[in-house]
Amino acid sequence: MAECLCSGAKTEAHFLIANDGTIYQTASLEKVCWHVGILYSRCADEKSCDPKELKTVNSLLHQKGFSFSTRVRNVSRHELGKAYPLRYPSNNDSLGIEVVGRFNKTTNTFERPTNEQFKSLKLLVDILIKEFSLNLNKDVYAHGVIARKKKAEGIQLLQYLKIGVAP
């Protein structure tokens, strides 16, 4: 796949939802965009690794002589050698949706999305689920759950999609 480029720079996602609920498609769905981040080990998170795989993941994560940044990137690279759904989705096999909002460093949370953003997100995700035969509970993720980003990133949006009520 080709890289996702916008004015010569790599973009963060395929879609952007503005405060007023306007959905912008910022890249072709055929392009790879850089939105996922450094992957966590799915089997380690879900406590489903076989003993050999758990030993490999732990070895990479706790390898002496390397910075934490290098170790987590090594785990992510290892995960990329697996096929989805044995690992979390990566930039190469997922679509990114960004919802405009500010991050509060004091509370370590994102501002609540507007009602218009919630409605537009639901519309967009419903279309993508139908188009790509996805399952909301198995194939749609919040950034902070699968990759080393802010833990809160996307959580309230995913809750809204699953229960239909804005938190």
Q: Report the pLDDT averaged over residues 69-96.
A: 96
Residue 47: how many other CB atoms lie within 10 Å? 7
Across-strand partners of 147? 39
Instruction: Give the separation between CA 61 and CA 71, rounded to whole angstroms.
Output: 5
**71, 98: one domain:** no
**103, 145: one domain:** yes
**16, 63: one domain:** no
**94, 156: one domain:** yes
Instruction: Give the separation between CA 101 and CA 104, rounded to whole angstroms.
Output: 10
Flag whether pLDDT at 104 surpasses 70.
yes
Confidence of residue 111 (pLDDT cuts 50, 70, 90): confident
**13, 56: one domain:** no
What confidence tens digit (pLDDT) does each residue in 26-54 have?
Answer: 999 999 998 898 999 999 999 999 999 99
**32, 102: one domain:** yes
Flag whether pLDDT at 9 surpasses 70.
no
**128, 50: one domain:** no
pTM of the model: 0.85
Query: Among residues of the chain, what percentage have pLDDT more than 90?
Result: 70
Dihedral angle, C-alpha 66, 72, 73, 74, nearest 10 °: 70
The domain in which residue 119 lies consists of 5-36+89-163
CB–CB of 79/87 below 8 Å? yes
**71, 131: one domain:** no
Flag whether pLDDT at 1 surpasses 50.
no
What confidence tens digit (pLDDT) does each residue in 11-28 have?
Answer: 589 999 999 999 999 999
Dihedral angle, C-alpha 39, 32, 82, 137, nearest 10 °: 70
Confidence of residue 88 (pLDDT cuts 50, 70, 90): very high
**130, 148: one domain:** yes
Reading the block at residue 90, the tokens are: 């990566």
Q: Count of domains in the chain? A: 2
